[in-house]
Structure 1
Amino acid sequence: MTTTPWDPAQYLRFADERTRPLHDLLHRVPDLPEPHTPTILDIGCGPGNSTAALRRHWPHAHLTGIDNSPDMLATARTHGEPHAHYLHADARTYDPTPHHPHLIVSNATLQWLNPDPHPDERPRGHLTLLRTWTAALRPGGTLAFQVPGNFDAPSHTLLAELRHSPRWRHALGHDATRAGVHTPARYLDTLTDAHCTADVWETTYSTLLTGPDPVLEWVKGTALRPVLGRLTDPADQTAFLAEYGALLREAYPPGPHGTVFPFRRIFAVAVRH
């Protein structure tokens, strides 16, 4: 959810692996107040793979996908769920209250919604959004979201170290778009304080990736996107990718069947009282 353009094709290179946590999340959503024609919002719908999954779970829902990337929305309309309604809006300021939704889903979006100016405070911003979103639900409605929980994994720590290295710190040392999440316990407290019955858990998927530099290709679609967006010289992009790729190959060596990439996620399902 930053100003750097998203690349739907790069993001969807690992569509099945990225969508698996969403399916696990949706299976934990309880019965909705109007199960046949619920109003459902997909906040941060991206290229529409999450919206399509929602349609499969609730075929007759009034379904709206919200995203701030025109490129992602264009892909969602044509290759995601073409029968949904789509809205170009920033989730940080979007107010879902007029929809009176039965269900709000946010798939791998909240980590980008961190408007606080101080790096140590950034994750606090989306806790405020969670309170706003739960307040917009109809009584008995549900908020369901999942976010990455792997910010202490080598894929992220090596990226941060390289950004702050002597060669790159001038261009990349300060990153106003750094993603961040909270602990599961913090989400549980926030959602309970928001008058919800909450279920919060975490899972680590041991994902098998194949092909050359598969972890580098994975992060190109997400964590690496804002970094590359700040390197306007193609030669700098090539040099940075070469350095980062070498670090990732050492941290995630290929095995006999491919490269194992631990993919930790944090999940929450909250039902409004």
Structure 2
Amino acid sequence: MGIREQFRANKKQEIQDENAGAKPLSSGDKAADKLQVQTLAAQIAEQQAMLFAQHERKVLVVLQGMDTSGKDGTVSGVFGSVNPQGLRIVSYKAPSQLELQHDYLWRIHQQVPAKGELAVFNRSHYEDVLITRVHDWIDAAECKRRYAQINDFERLLSETGTVVLKFFLHISKDEQRARLQERVDDPSKHWKFELQDLEERKSWDDYQKVYSQAIQATDADHAPWYVIPSNSKTHRNLAIAGVVLETLQAMKLAFPPGKKELTGLKVV
């Protein structure tokens, strides 16, 4: 079984706390696992160099998860070796007043990857069927419409040359408590903490429910979801790097062929 199949979501996916601590890819040696992440990250960088050189296809990586699940850590740990000229990181916050004047996908479509580019969304259009549903800003009927619109949007991306990978970084409620407490206890990490994080934590069970529903409704072969056990930061990076690399390798990327007119050319 490949790494992608190991973490691929299914149509009956239920988010359960007890699964967040799984480490099926771990060697049992944390130092060795960290070294393996670095090796995979370097290989991802090599693949992305060919993607950029070909300048034909595109790759979109979507990172979703509860607060403290490790989206920022994934960006640095998995994609930190990629040449920045072919990499774009987009972090989505609450929509601005301008963005609110348009449909919810307007701000998303502007940021999808261009030819030769690998884009990573730190949060994404899925916020519009997650927090909006938890707080009843939209009803079930509107949420169902948005699932259909998201499926159409991602199919459009796929049919126009974009490989879409979606990751749910799955941590347990206890693990989130520990990570939030760490931020509170360390003044150098206070910038990462908002009191609103505690308010959202009160809706933990509701978030698990709407994540399960969103994954079930929008998983597709052209835009697959992967559920990544993320209580272990090292294993999280190991799993995501493995899925990304396996996907890039399956694209059979290569540098463009040499130019005949340069054969024998001497630079003076």
More helix by share: 2
Of structures 1 and 2, the one with the larger relative CO (CA 8 A, separation 6+) is 2
TM-score under structure 2 length normalisation: 0.35
TM-score under structure 1 length normalisation: 0.34
More strand by share: 1
Bigger radius of gyration among the two: 2
